[in-house]
């Protein structure tokens, strides 16, 4: 058998396997705010800072943080100039205010940073 045929018939093994106990860790959400997913997206192409009037600005948005409530599907997108922890905390506080105004009390955040 040639090397190409051997390569084609070879089966790949996963280098990482999921445990069977992982299903037990998944919890169903029964109320708004019980679990909120958070993700941060960074773009190489910067966007302009919105401006209605006044002097032109050199500020640019580079990062966006996205919040989505699992139960109510309440979503919030916060534009950031950089990905520092201070900017991220401002995004979190802005989302919590946004959610509170809509009657959603945040209990748990879920992210994969």
Pairing type for strands 36-48 and 60-69 reads antiparallel
pLDDT at 96 over 60: yes
pLDDT in tens, 7-29: 767 766 666 666 665 555 667 88
Distances in Å between the Cα of 73 and the Cα atoms of 28, 41, 61, 111 are 14, 19, 25, 16
Which whole number is the average pLDDT over 31-35?
93
Residue 1 — pLDDT band, cuts 50, 70, 90?
A: confident
User: In this predicted model, which residue has the larger pLDDT, 111 or 54?
Assistant: 111
CB 79 within 8 A of CB 87: no
Spatial CA neighbour of 41 closest among 68, 16, 7? 68
As a whole number, mean pLDDT of residues 34-55 equals 79
């Amino acid at each position: 058998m040639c090397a190409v045929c051997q390569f084609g018939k070879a089966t790949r093994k996963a280098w990482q396997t999921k445990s069977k106990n992982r299903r037990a860790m998944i919890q169903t959400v029964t109320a708004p705010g019980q679990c909120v997913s958070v993700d941060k997206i960074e773009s190489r192409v910067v966007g302009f800072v919105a401006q209605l009037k006044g002097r032109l600005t050199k500020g640019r948005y580079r990062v966006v943080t996205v919040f989505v409530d699992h139960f109510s599907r309440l979503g919030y997108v916060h534009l950031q100039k950089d990905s520092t922890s201070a900017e991220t905390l401002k995004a979190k506080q802005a989302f919590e205010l946004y959610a509170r105004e809509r009657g959603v009390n945040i209990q748990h955040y879920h992210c994969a940073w």
